[in-house]
Amino acid sequence: MQWIDIRSDTVTQPTPAMRQAMFDAPVGDDVYGDDPTVQELERVAAERLGKEAALFVPSGNFGNQLALLTHCRRGDEVILGDDCHIVWHETGGAAVIAGVQLRTIASPDGVLDAAEVKKRIRVGDDIHHPNTGLICLENAHSNGRVIPLAAMQAVAEVAQAHGVPVHLDGARVFNAATTLGCDVRDITRHADTVMVCLSKGLAAPVGSILAGPAGFIARARKNRKLMGGGWRQAGVLAAPGLIALTEMTQRLAEDHANARYLAEQLAALPGVTVDLASVEINMVWFRLAESVDTARLMAALTEAGIKANPPEAGMMRIVTHWQVGRAEVDRVLAALATVLAAA
């Protein structure tokens, strides 16, 4: 049976072209600066993201935590949304690695209000206060919402006025650019540094990019080594990353269209509530009626060859990607319809 995996876009497998590129990649020792494929990936990434330099890192979590470590001094305070990935899903790394304090702000639909950010920036030299070391934004948000450029610009202007750098968790920033119909640099220009995942919807098997000013990236390269992230013959991993940036970024609209189709069809099923306005990238969140037997639902999906995460507090998520096209979406819908009709 051919499995359909809708748990996340982190489950994507490399494309045939990526596998061939891995086989053919010229390599060297990247800690010595000798890997030509890594060098090319970092050059292309910096250009695509509108930054002076870029650094290949093992994961998005690693890239975000490396950014905090490189931007901040121990004891600094970082301002960010209370529902962002750095707060919720990075295992408290900010405390362990960078030794910083997180100051969270309510962020409806992932949007930080610039006025609320301004209120929380530490001004002056009061010895009781931590220094504001960094402001973090996220676009696309891990809840699947895309943050308007005007909201990012407003926060960036507040940050610049106070001399505080901005880091963008751009794990799915190319999804955000696709939805906004803009160049990705129109998003990243509102941040000093940005982390971008090459995996997820871009389908590379491993790795993310941290990009920013050349001096920052030089410091981050040393900190990457400190964190155990020094690569050796990493060209075999950088090669699919190049395809992710140059080719897979161009097809994300297909994933978004499949997610929209899925959401519209789900909304017609009994016991399902979908907020169609929230379907902005390749994620569909929906609420199941309390009468739905979750154990039976998950068993039926498994029986149908579908890997899915169970609902949490009544909410369930389905994520489309290059291996979940319209035919796979229809299979998922059919399996859900069968169970829900009997609920």
Q: What is the mean pLDDT of residues 106-123?
A: 97
Average pLDDT of the chain, as a whole number: 97
pLDDT (tens digit per residue) in 240-257: 999 999 999 999 999 999
pLDDT digits over 316-327, tens only?
A: 999 999 999 999
pLDDT at 342 over 90: no
Task: Check if the beta carbon of residue 14 is closer than 8 Å to that of residue 203.
Answer: yes
Q: Is 317 helix (H, G, I), strand (E, B) or coil?
A: strand
Q: Are 275 and 285 in contact (CB under 8 A)?
A: yes
Helical residues (DSSP H) of the chain, grouped into ranges = 16-24, 36-49, 60-71, 85-88, 93, 114-120, 149-162, 173-180, 185-188, 214-226, 235-246, 252-266, 294-303, 326-341
Q: How many other CB atoms are there within 10 angstroms of residue 324's CB atom?
A: 25
CB 213: neighbour CB atoms within 10 A? 14
Give mean pLDDT, residues 119-129: 96
Q: What is the mean pLDDT of residues 33-39?
A: 98
Residue 308 near residue 318, CB atoms below 8 Å? yes
Q: For 14-28, 63-77, 199-213, 329-343, which range has the lowest pLDDT when averaged over its residues? A: 329-343
Per-residue pLDDT tens over the stretch 272-301: 999 999 999 999 999 999 989 999 999 999
**What mean pLDDT is predicted for residues 14-30?**
98
- The confidence score (pLDDT) of residue 314 equals 84
Q: Percent of the chain having pLDDT more than 90? A: 97
Report pLDDT for 313.
85
Taking only the tens place, the pLDDT of each residue in 305-319 is 999 999 998 899 999
The answer on pLDDT for 80 being more than 90 is yes
pLDDT at 1 over 80: no
Identify the band that residue 341 occupies on the pLDDT scale cut at 50, 70 and 90: confident
125-149 mean pLDDT: 97
Measure CA 155 to chain center: 20
Query: pTM of the entire structure?
Result: 0.97
Look at residue 213 in the predicted model and tell me its pLDDT. Answer: 98
Q: What is the helix, strand, coil percentage profile of the chain, to 5?
A: 50, 15, 35
Token code pair at residue 77: 């305070």
